[in-house]
Amino acid sequence: MERMQQIVGQARAAFNSGRCRSLGFRMQQLKALEQMVQEKEKEILAALKADLHKSGPTAFSHEILGVLKELALAMDKLPSWAAPQPVKRDLLTMRDEAYICPEPLGVVLIIGAWNYPFVLVMQPLIGAIAAGNAVVVKPSEICENTARLVSDLLPQYLDQELYPVVTGGVPETTELLKQRFDHILYTGNSTVGKIVMAAAAKHLTPVTLELGGKSPCYIDKDCDLAVACRRITWGKYMNCGQTCIAPDYILCDPSIQSKVVENIKATLQEFYGEDVKSSPDYERIVNKRHFKRILGLLDGQKIAHGGEADEASCFIAPTILTDVSPESKVMEEEIFGPVLPILTVKNVDEAIEFINRREKPLALYVFSNNKKLIKRVISETFSGGFTGNDVIMHFFLSTLPFGGVGNSGIGAYHGKHSFETFSHHRACLIRDLKMEVMHKLRYPPGSQKKVDWAKFFLLKRFNKGQIGLVILALLGIVAAVVTIKMVYY
């Protein structure tokens, strides 16, 4: 308890010193983080290999490339992101200065996830640093090699007081959550998300919760099945299915179910060869607990492909289930593994109804040549994100916010959205002490005449041409009032 108080207290004292508010300091820290990723690439890849059996090229594309891209964007755009943003004024404030000023929140906590243990810590960290905050970083203890590496590397490159790293498991995280933060970002499951939110509520701390859920994938009969299944296979089985926005299950017409299976099987052979287990591009389940949980979902199911497993190496082959019942165990929870159930629906109406009966998912995918059908699914469903004719790719576009809705999460980040998540948008209005006659409308005593003038100033709408005339008229009124005062007083 005392250790956590000391860590957070030190970070708050460092924040209160004001050194992280300058753009120059923030830029320096972001450049240092970029230097760390570039100089320690081999060590990062080795840790990911040890934790999740990720090959070098896969680990780089999944975990490092996105971090470097986010860093480049933040360093390029930070001056414009942090600049005061002028806002429109009304007739009563047309002479004033009105703007929104992005300000740091203070000390924030980032709790990372184990499935992408490097990128899911670094991406929000970049946004929090760019916004001028102090950050306590808590990597997932499940991927212990990556957690240890992050704990070792960050103090070598970043300000140690402003950006401390806390390692450990549930006891350490529990003690950390007892401390007061100005924002908490957590990535993980909804069960722990509720615990984080409850702890944050005691201090009225806002949260960003990146959770998960069962992300549906509807395949229309009118589409290129070979292309659709290749893209689905890539998204479903990357990282051995341990991706929060992986397609969790497929909805399709009964007439194309067998074709979907055959196309996915062909793609699996194309991606991983005859012996998936020996493929360097196929990862492993993170630990034996999750291995047993996923195998338990296969009980009583019709396995159309795969199903092989090896507990010693936490290997589960890419698996396809057909004729799955909506009430089966595999449809009750997020799978988070290389198991793909296929459920049949008669048409898009039934698919929409099926999706809307369940919790709002983190992502939703539709494959169809009919753009109107795709737009219809968007307009008649809810999800954190949506991609048509592909999967997962909305995650990589930094101009799109990434986050859930309802049970799949609260808030969003990525690119400028990360900066905004970790900023307070301060409303600023600067006036002068002149033109006091214009302010008498709001002073007592009240009168109907004052109300009528207020309605004119605040409710009347003018086009651009009329505004100039109104301003001239107002100046005339003010001049007349001043003249009368000079004559009679």
Q: Which amino acid is at 169?
A: G
**Residue 341 contacts residue 303 (beta carbons within 8 Å):** no
- Cβ partners under 8 Å of residue 230, min gap 6: 263, 267, 270
Strand partners, 108: 135, 183
Q: How far is CA 305 from CA 262, 317, 320, 361, in A?
A: 9, 9, 5, 26
Reduced DSSP (H G I as helix, E B as strand, rest coil) percent helix, strand, coil of the chain, to 5: 50, 15, 35
Both tokens assigned to 169: 């498991």
- Tell me if residue 210 is catalytic: yes
For tokens 């070598």, the residue is 156
CA distance 154 to 118: 12
The total number of residues shown for the chain amounts to 489
Q: Which amino acid is at 71?
A: L
Pick the catalytic residue from 244, 283, 334, 420: 244
**Residue 214 contacts residue 358 (beta carbons within 8 Å):** yes
CA 448, 450, 452, 455: dihedral to nearest 10 degrees? -130
Both tokens assigned to 430: 């600067």
Handedness of CA 217, 119, 137, 402 (dihedral sign): negative
Element (H, E) at 141: none
Q: How far is CA 162 from the centre of its chain?
A: 23
Q: How far is CA 435 from CA 66, 92, 265, 481, in A?
A: 53, 11, 77, 11
- Cβ partners under 8 Å of residue 468, min gap 6: none
- Tell me if residue 143 is catalytic: no
Rg (CA), the chain: 28
Pick the catalytic residue from 63, 70, 210, 420: 210
Phi, psi of 482, deg, nearest 5: -60, -45
Element (H, E) at 97: strand 97-104
Q: What are the start-end ranges of the H helices in 422-463?
A: 448-459
Bond before 445 cis per omega within 30 degrees: yes
Q: What angle do CA 423, 429, 434 make, to 5 degrees?
A: 165
Both tokens assigned to 300: 């009583």
Pairing of strands 216-219, 134-138: unpaired
Strand partners, 208: 185
Active site amino acids: 210, 244
